[in-house]
A = this chain, B = another copy of it.
Amino acid sequence: MLLLDVGNHSAKIWHDGLISSKSIDELNSFLPKEKAYYISVNSNFKPNSNKFIDISDFFEFDTIYKGLGVDRIAGCYIIKNGIVVDAGSAITVDIMIDFVHQGGFIVPGIAAQLKANEEISKVLKVAINSQVSLEALPQKTVDAVSFGIIAPLVFLIKDMSKNKNIYLTGGDGSFFSKFFDNAIFDKNLVFRGMLKALEERGIKC
């Protein structure tokens, strides 16, 4: 079984548990040999075979949020109670209680914030310092920028989490997970949600 999570910049592919990725261009010329169940937030993805099956309507997701991206729905879908952080090109934070989505918010991802800083001033063109301390105030630009990207978000998530678990996924999910005591990093969280939605329709891998 093939699963595809088509994001803003590329597609992640799950093939019987093995993970790979393709650009949107590559995906548009890809002819799967078996059924390829997908979710997509990218209007440039044009499936060119009837093997591609859009499963965005398969999720029975309890929320009052208008226009919630299907990738966020999938990422939250197996979480009964907890905070779901998908740290990719954007970072989305969603809260689940008893399988009911409570709402969520969005901040630009690490790369996008670094680029934004760089465009403001050449002085702010730095790489992130992954070792920056959140316990002490920064004393140089690279730490000031790194702290500014990490600390506000981490403090808010910690405050929201209280006794809830924090589930992280996405390209920078592992990076952020080390700032929390009660964090679970699962790079396949979205695929697990897709598998649950398929199983609920009687489609098993």
Contacts and interface: CB of A to CB of B under 8 A. Distances in A.
Interface of A: 8, 41, 43, 64-67, 69, 89-93, 95, 102-109, 112-113, 115-117, 119-124, 136-141, 143-145, 147-149, 151-153, 155-156, 159
B140 A8 contact: no
A144 B66 contact: no
Contact of A138 (B103, B113, B141, B143): B103
Given A104-B144, A105-B144, 6 more contacts: A69-B123, A92-B144, A103-B136, A152-B152, A152-B155, A156-B156
A121 B156 contact: no
B137 A102 contact: yes
7 smallest beta-carbon distances between A and B, as pairs: A103-B137, A152-B152, A108-B116, A107-B148, A112-B116, A105-B147, A105-B148
A66 B121 contact: no
Contacts of A123: 41, 67, 69
Contacts of A149: 107
Contacts of A102: 137
Nearest to A88: B120
Given A120-B112, A138-B103, A139-B64, A152 B144 contact: no
A139 B90 contact: no
A16 B106 CA distance: 43
A12 to B, nearest CB: 16
17 contacts: A41-B123, A66-B141, A67-B140, A89-B121, A92-B144, A103-B137, A103-B144, A105-B137, A105-B138, A105-B145, A106-B124, A107-B149, A108-B116, A113-B113, A151-B156, A155-B155, A156-B156
Contacts of A122: 43
B145 A95 contact: no
